[in-house]
Amino acid sequence: MEAGRRWTRRGFLAGVGVVAGLSAGARRALSSIGPVLGVPPLTTANPYEELGVKAVVNAQGTMTYLGGSLIRPEVEAVMCAAAKHYVNIVDLHVAAGARIAQMLKLPEDYTAYVTSGAAGAIVSGTAAVITGNNPEFIERIPDLTGMKSEVIIQKSHRYPFDHQIRCCGIKLVEVETPDELRKAVCDKTALLFFTNYLNSAGRIKVDEFARLAKELRIPSFNDAAADTPPVSRLTEYVSMGYDMVTFSGGKAIRGPQCAGLLLGRKGIIGNAILNTSPYEDTLCRAQKVGKEEIVGMVKALELYLEDDHEALTREWWRRLDQIAAQLKRLDGVSTAYHVPEIANHVPSMQVFWDPRKYSLAPADAAKFLLAGQPSIAVGQGREGLSLTAFMLQPGEEKIVAAGLERMFRAHTV
Ligand SMILES: *Cc1c(COP(=O)(O)O)cnc(C)c1O
């Protein structure tokens, strides 16, 4: 450390430019951080509020920026039980994966792996097919000298999470047609990657892509992170022949937020484990999954598979209907429903309004609701707001309806 310069938390954060990017509230909280003993203890009542951060009513969906989804009491209970003992983490990973494969009735040569999330599954799955079980390769990645270094993806399937492929040192090779794909395959090809929610955007559809991978004998990966419900999707892509498929644990399955599922061929999953924490000189050491999350993920999936999904869907519609009924009383406000085919295949409601009757742009409407008390998060489109009800807690539909009504009344022209 430099002589004559005292290390302080504020000085350090300011020095690295972190403070500049924070919200005003976060900056205020940072400036009031005192010596440890002068800080009020957190209780279990509302730790967020005690930290000065507002809890949010989530009418938007399974958004990572809001904390994903809420675990159920049963999941919380097994996570607390898991926190009371030490365990060999690799043994636990293998056993949890076997249990998940059993619950999903995966084919004999498949198993599962609880990763830090779908994004983490993309990194460790890609690393697995690059390094195999070669210890030198595992230590050297993302320097890919002497290893396969290309992943083929459809041009229309490029998306933010392909950063998780590129961070393995990989060059992405873009193709559009089956012919281009065949020609792009060479001895450097490690993987064929499919972005499930972009299925309709690509010339090669999800089932044909899996067939091509098999024909060309290259491993295939399908990112289906937000693509359950329906439950059937959890096994559909393995049935098509994908060698690896990922789902987020902390979205509709309501597992721990920092967990996800990587389903895959046993050999590949074994190599994914070798590339990940607790092993230290690995690419994915930073993707640690705790014993509590591993066990919580198993329990969450068990509950999810046992759910009455039709009853849940009816309840989500009922909540949206209730909000719509209240909004109908407002002159010039209308609603419309829609269910995305893929990615969050759940009831969703758009709210529109006559701009001559309410002076409010959609972006300002979303901000107004988020800044309100209670704070309500909704999605925002070009023409209006977009709501889902599947992440609401029972009764919160009333809060959302009242919040929307307050907003419109406050902006009546
Ligand atoms: C949410 C999402 C991810 C990231 O999943 P995490 O579980 O948050 O890591 C990746 N791909 C898609 C398509 C997603 O929707």
Distance, CA of 40 to CA of 52 (rounded, Å):
12
Distance, CA of 185 to CA of 67 (rounded, Å):
39
Provide the pLDDT for residue 6.
Answer: 39
Q: Which residues contact 66 (CB under 8 A, 6 or more apart)?
A: 56, 58, 60, 377
Q: Is the CB of 223 under 6 A from ligand 1?
A: yes
Provide the pLDDT for residue 101.
Answer: 98
pTM over 0.85: yes
How many Å lie between the centroid of ligand 1 and the Cα of residue 226? 7
Q: Whose CA is nearest to atom 2 of ligand 1?
A: 225
Q: Which atom of ligand 1 is nearest to the CA of 122?
A: 10
| Ligand 1 binding pocket mutation candidate from 116, 156, 158, 161 (most atoms within 8 A of CB) | 161
Provide the pLDDT for residue 18.
Answer: 47
Contact status, residue 111 vs residue 238, Cβ threshold 8 Å: no
How many Å lie between the centroid of ligand 1 and the Cα of residue 225? 5
Tens digits of per-residue pLDDT, 51-109? 999 999 999 999 999 999 999 999 999 999 999 999 999 999 999 999 999 999 999 99
Q: Is the CB of 234 under 6 A from ligand 1?
A: no
Show the low-confidence residues of the chain (pLDDT under 50). Answer: 1-19
3-class DSSP string for the chain: CCCCCCCCHHHHHHHCCCHHHCCHHHHHHHHCCCCHHHCCCCCCCCHHHHCCCCCEEECCCCEHHHCECCCCHHHHHHHHHHCCCCCCHHHHHHHHHHHHHHHHCCCCCEEEEEECCHHHHHHHHHHHHHHCCCHHHHHHCCCCCCCCCEEEEEHHHCCHHHHHHHCCCCEEEEECCHHHHHHHCCCCEEEEEEEHHHHHHCCCCHHHHHHHHHHHCCCEEEECCCCCCCCCHHHHHHHHCCCEEEEECCCCCCCCCCCEEEEEEHHHHHHHHHCECCCCCCCECCCCCCHHHHHHHHHHHHHHHHCCHHHHHHHHHHHHHHHHHHHHCCCCEEEEEECCCCCCCCCEEEEEECCCCECCCHHHHHHHHHHCCCEEECEECCCCEEEECCCCCCCHHHHHHHHHHHHHHHCEC
Tens digits of per-residue pLDDT, 335-350? 999 999 988 899 999 9
Q: Which atom of ligand 1 is nearest to the CA of 259?
A: 7
Q: Is the CB of 226 under 6 A from ligand 1?
A: yes
How many Å lie between the centroid of ligand 1 and the Cα of residue 74? 24
Distance, CA of 236 to CA of 53 (rounded, Å):
40
Q: Which atom of ligand 1 is nearest to the CA of 64?
A: 8
